[in-house]
Structure 1
Amino acid sequence: MPKSTRSKEEIYFMVLNAILKMEIAKGHLKWTLSDISRESKVTRSLIYYYFGKEKKAVLATAYQYLVERFYSLDKPNPLPLRQRLSNILKDLKEMPYLILLFYSAKGEDSEFGRIIRKKETEFLKGLQKEFPHLSETQILEVYLMELGAMLYHLPPTKTKDLFELHLGPVKK
């Protein structure tokens, strides 16, 4: 796509995608903004404009984006479980390293690890509200099925049948 026709959202996505990819490929903060510029095909000046010049702040923005994509908690009307999973599976086709970054950081004693664990707890509480008829164990099973679908690379079109045991068939 020619540079002049890219929207702000596309540029933002390309840069965040490159940051997360470089975090996996080169290691924690071992990349430069020039690396991000080359990978994303976005000029450094545009990266500075949208994200600033501090690598830690840029990475924090990328991590926040990642958490929002995985948990969709910050939306006024969260997506239904199956639709959210379908969207995540589509994202993982474009950015397969996200799951590795997400779960390697989850166990770390770092700011991002704490953010992930907090958002995960909020997400599980949200599932309990969405599905009050399920026990805490069943909610955890649903979440683990969702994670398994991501690791399995389940085609997004197959999510409608995934949770039938706990949630029942999709209503038409």
Structure 2
Amino acid sequence: MANKADSKEQKQVAVSLAILEVIERDGLNGVTHSKVSRKSGVSRAWIYEYIGKEKSDLIEYAGEVFTSFFARTKKADRPKTRAELMQRLEEGTEFVFQAVQANPVIIKLHYRFRGTDTAIGKVIAKYEKYWIGNTSKSLVEILGMSGAEASAFAEMIMVLRLGFAFRVVTEVKAGSHLSESKLAMGLLFRAHFGR
């Protein structure tokens, strides 16, 4: 089932997804360089060089990649207007739904390890804090919310979209709640941002 990954970025994604799939199937103790190499189609030599030689390196790496992916940490600029904020939140929600449909293991492991004292649990906590903090700042600056209101609202958005994403990928009939989930999030955004 190994895919051929050519660029460094493709290899990084292939390796991180392979690690997550191994964790889902075999648990944290079941992660080995050999399994990850076979599943990802990336050589062990490449994995040793760019990720590390320890099992803990693999686990932490996968946690960093998939959690930063959800938090979209590469989008450093914050929106400046109400419309930009709503658009950013809508796009982020759509991004999460598409990402988990393409790789359901991401959201399943998010909920499996969230709040745990594992390497993945710690990374999840770090990026959730980052996303809530960044979104809260935008809510304070753009909507004039108090810090406490902004933080609570940002957390509500995060929890709802991750919860809906989990529901979408774990339903017996895969994707059966996707349109309802998108509608619910859209209603929430329109209620607070207008349009």
Q: How does 1:73-152 map to 2 (within 5 A)?
A: 73-77=73-77, 80-132=88-140, 133=143, 134=145, 135-136=149-150, 137-152=152-167
Hey, what does 2:194 align to over in structure 1?
A: 168
Gaps of 5+ in 1: none
Deviations 1:61-115 (A, max 9, x none): 1111122012123542268222122222222122101112112211212343233
Residue 12 of structure 1, CA deviation? 1.2
- Does structure 2 retain, via aligned residues, the 8 Å contact 1:29–1:56? no
Amino acid in structure 2 at the alignment position of 1:15: V
| 2:81 counterpart of 1:55 | no
What's the TM-score, normalizing by structure 2? 0.72
Deviations 1:7-51 (A, max 9, x none): 221111111110011111100131221111111122222222321
3-state SS, counterpart of residue 131 of structure 1: helix
CA distance in 2, matches of 1:165, 1:83: 17
Number of residues of Structure 1 aligned to a counterpart in Structure 2: 167
CA distance in 2, matches of 1:130, 1:10: 32
Q: How does 1:14-53 map to 2 (within 5 A)?
A: 14-53=14-53
Gaps of 5+ in 2: 80-87, 169-177
- Range moving further from structure 2, 133-142 or 9-18: 133-142
What's the TM-score, normalizing by structure 1? 0.81
- Does structure 1 retain, via aligned residues, the 8 Å contact 2:107–2:162? no
Amino acid in structure 1 at the alignment position of 2:109: L
Q: State the Cα RMSD in Å.
A: 2.7
Amino acid in structure 1 at the alignment position of 2:155: L
CA distance in 2, matches of 1:40, 1:111: 21
- Range moving further from structure 2, 41-50 or 98-107: 41-50
CA distance in 1, matches of 2:94, 2:161: 10
CA distance in 2, matches of 1:78, 1:16: 27
